[in-house]
Amino acid sequence: MSSGTAVATTRIWRGVGSFLLPNLADPSTHEGPPMGARVWRRVLVGLHASFGILAALAVLTILTNAQSEPWCRPAALAAIGAIVLAYTVAGRVGLTAARVSRRGRALIVAYLVVLVAGVGVLARTEPDTLFIFFIVYAQVWSLVDRTVAGTFWSLMLVAASIVGMALRPAPDRPDLVSLISNQAVGVAFALLMGIWVHSLFDRSREQARLIEKLESARAEVAALERERGAQAERERMARDVHDTLAQGYTSILMLARTAVAQLGADPAAARERLELVEEVASENLAQARALVAAQSPVELDGTSLRDALTQLAGRFTRETGIEVDIRFSPEPAGDGTAGPAGLRPAEELMLLRAAQEALTNARRHASPTRVSLTLATARPGEATLRVVDDGVGFAVGAETGSGLVGLRRRMEEAGGELLVTSAPGAGTQLVARVVRGR
C-alpha cells in the first residue's frame, strides 16, 4: 500500500467515521445517548455496503486489467468470490449476534483465514485490488472482541500481501524495502484506527449493558411502586372498612343479641332495639355506598364535626344505655353548625374516627358506667379530642386489635398524634390531637 493510498484511506476513514458514528466521533465532548441498536444498524449497513462496493470494484479491476499470466485472472476472481462467500456466512454471525457462540467464533476464524489467504492471492495476481484493505481492516476489528486478536489478524493480512507481491514475476515485483515501508505505514494506521474504534465499540457495548441493567432496575422499581401502591390502597380500604362498616356491624350484632334476649320478657324494649338495628343497618348501607363511590364519609357530608360527634354520642347512648357527657370548648356560637376553626375536612375526619374507635372499644371491651367526650379548639388549626371512660381498662401496648394501631398510623400520616392512657381497672383515656404545621 503506497503512502498516497494511506492518505486517501485516512480521509475515507474520517468521512465514513463521521457518517457512521456521528455521536462517537469525539468521545470527550459526547453528550448524547450512547450508541444503541439504531446506530449499530447504521454501522452494519455501512460495513456491508462498503464491502459490497469494494468487492464489485475489485472484480471490475480484475476484468479490465491485462494479465501477464493467463491463470491470474481466474485465481483473482476465485479469491474475491471466496472472500465474499465466507463473509456472507461469518459476517452475519459475528456482526449481528449479541453473543457469539463457540460455533460462531469458529466461523469467524475460518473467514479470517480465508481473508488472509485471499489477500495473499490478490497480491500475487492483481495488486491493484488491494484497495480492499480499507474495508478488511474494519472487518477484522469489528469481528474480533480483543485488541490482541485484532492486531494479530491485521499483521497477518499485511504479511500475506507482502508475501504475495514478493512472489510476483521479476518485472512486476516491487522493491522489497519500499514495499515493506509502504505496507508498514498502512498497517500502523490500521492498528491505530482499529484500536480506537475497538475502544469505542467496547465503551458502547458497556453502555448498552448498563442501559439494559438500568431499564431492568427501572422496571423492578416500577413493579415495586405499583405493589406498594396496591398495598397502601388495601391498607386504606381495610382502615376505612374497620372505621365504618365493621363498627356498624358490631353495633348491629350487639343490638340483635339484646333484642333476642328481651324478646320474651320485654317486647317493647326488643322492638326498640330492632328499630336501632334498622337505623344502624341503613347507616352502614350509606357508608358502603360512599366507600364504593370513593366519596367522603357520610357523617361529615353536609354536617359539622360537632354535629357528627353529637349524633355518634346519641347513638352510643341508645345502644348501650350509657350517657355520654359531651362538651365543646369553646361552645359553638350562633346556630351551632360551624366546625372547629381552621381544620381541614381530612383532619375533622381523623378526629371523628378517633371518637368512633374509642366508643366502640368502650362498648365492646370496657363495660363502663360513665363516658365523657370533649372537643377543644384553643387556636385556629388546632384541635384536641379526649374520650374518657371508667371501664375495666387494659395494659397499653398489649392490645391485639387493628383499630388503635391503624388509627394511630392514620393520625400520624395526617400530621396529628394519638395518645392512649389506660391500666387494668383504671379506665381508659384516648387523646387525639391535630396541630397544623406539624
295-299, 350-354, 418-422: least confident range: 295-299
Around Cβ 391, how many Cβ atoms within 10 Å? Answer: 22
pLDDT of residue 135: 82
pLDDT of residue 327: 92
DSSP secondary-structure letter at 363? I
Distance CA 227, CA 189 (A): 56
pLDDT class of 340 with cuts at 50, 70, 90? low
pLDDT of residue 24: 36
pLDDT in tens, 368-411: 899 999 999 877 778 999 999 998 888 877 665 566 777 788 78
Distance CA 132, CA 57 (A): 9
pLDDT in tens, 253-282: 777 888 888 777 888 887 887 878 777 777
Q: Are 163 and 127 in contact (CB under 8 A)?
A: no
Task: Put residue 379 in one of left, alpha, beta given phi > 0 → left and psi -120 to 50 → alpha.
Answer: beta
Q: How far is CA 234 from CA 22, 224, 231, 240, in A?
A: 51, 15, 5, 10
Q: Which residue has the higher pLDDT, 98 or 120?
A: 120
Cell 516491487: give the residue: 174
156-160, 169-173, 429-433: least confident range: 169-173
pLDDT class of 295 with cuts at 50, 70, 90? very low
CB proximity list for 370: less than 8 A, separation 6 or greater:
322, 323, 325, 389, 390
84-93, 297-306, 378-387, 414-423: least confident range: 297-306
pLDDT in tens, 180-231: 776 777 777 777 777 776 677 677 767 878 888 888 888 888 778 777 766 7
pLDDT of residue 198: 67
